[in-house]
Amino acid sequence: SAVISQKPSRDICQRGTSLTIQCQVDSQVTMMFWYRQQPGQSLTLIATANQGSEATYESGFVIDKFPISRPNLTFSTLTVSNMSPEDSSIYLCSVSRGDEAFFGQGTRLTVV
Amino acid sequence: QKEVEQDPGPLSVPEGAIVSLNCTYSNSAFQYFMWYRQYSRKGPELLMYTYSSGNKEDGRFTAQVDKSSKYISLFIRDSQPSDSATYLCAMSGGSYIPTFGRGTSLIVHP
């Protein structure tokens, strides 16, 4: 398994501002993943973050809106930039061990 | 058609009932099948993981995979109020990035 610490657990932000979400893993991992979970919807992969290279973004997500950092093998951040109410969602950090995915507790973001 | 279909519910059952949660999928490349449980305001936690067709049992939980029908199920025996959560199915073809269903909300009332 993997222990993933994610913070903040929740935040209420003003539109037009940015929020950075941090993810810390208890052991080194090659790939870290960022997901979005909107109410009643499945988890949507935003990007895959590898240490030492730029993140790989899924269709519909761009680096300017969701910049990601991966400074080492146990840590990553996701920034939600220039937020609008449509960005209100739960954001989840994830790592894989073999074919099993493990998740942080999530960041519940509300944009007002 | 979505790759993974899962009825969002909610599914409401009395305590002690047998619960059946299901997903269908369309991608024949999926080989690994998982069930996650997500409590309110928490991240998903891995509940069951299976690779092949057939049944896998773990305590009160049984995961069933029918690759020929592209259908997976999770059975919960003797359901408890503490089982109330959202259950997400997930599957992958070995790419380390699962495809998730939208989750089924389960409510077990005393």
Q: DSSP string of B24-48?
A: EE--TT--EEEEEEE-TTS--EEEE
The answer to whether B70 and B24 have CB atoms below 8 angstroms apart is yes
How close, in Å, is residue A84 to chain B by CA atoms? 22
Tokens of B38: 């997500």
Give the bridge partners for A79, in sequence order: A20
Tokens 């998740």 correspond to what residue? A103
- Give the helix/strand (H/E) hosting A79: strand A75-80
- pLDDT reported for residue A110: 96
- Substitution target in B97, B102, B104, B105 with the highest count of A β-carbons within 10 Å is B97
The verdict on A102 touching B (C-beta cutoff 8 Å) is yes
- Confirm or reject contact between A57 and chain B (CB < 8 A): no
Query: Any residues with CB less than 8 A from the CB of A18 and at least 6 apart, and which?
Result: A79, A80, A81, A82, A83
CA atoms of B92 and B2, how far apart (whole Å): 14
Ramachandran angles phi, psi of A17, nearest 5°: -95, 180
Q: Residue B63 contacts by C-beta under 8 Å, 6 or more apart in sequence? A: B33, B35, B48, B49, B50, B55, B56, B57, B72, B73, B74, B75
User: What is the model's pLDDT at position B1?
Assistant: 65
A100: which DSSP letter?
E
Q: State how far the alpha carbon of B65 is from the alpha carbons of A97, B7, B34, B70, B82, in Å.
A: 21, 17, 10, 8, 25
For chain B, the residue count is: 110
Nearest CA in chain A to B96: A99
Structure token digits, residue A53? 């290279």
Residue B38's pLDDT band (cuts 50, 70, 90): very high
Q: By percentage, how much of chain B surpasses pLDDT 70?
A: 96
Say how many CA atoms lie within 13 Å of A38 toward its Cβ: 8
Query: For every one of its 112 residues, what pLDDT tens digit does chain A have, with 9 covering 90 and above?
Result: 789 999 999 999 999 999 999 999 999 998 899 999 998 788 999 999 988 788 999 999 999 999 999 999 999 999 999 999 999 999 999 998 777 789 999 999 999 9
B44 to chain A nearest CA, in Å? 6
Interface A-B: count of C-beta contacts within 8 A: 51
Contacts of B41 in chain A (CB under 8 A): 9, 105-106, 108
Give B65-104 pLDDT, tens digit per residue.
999 999 999 999 999 999 999 999 999 887 678 899 999 9
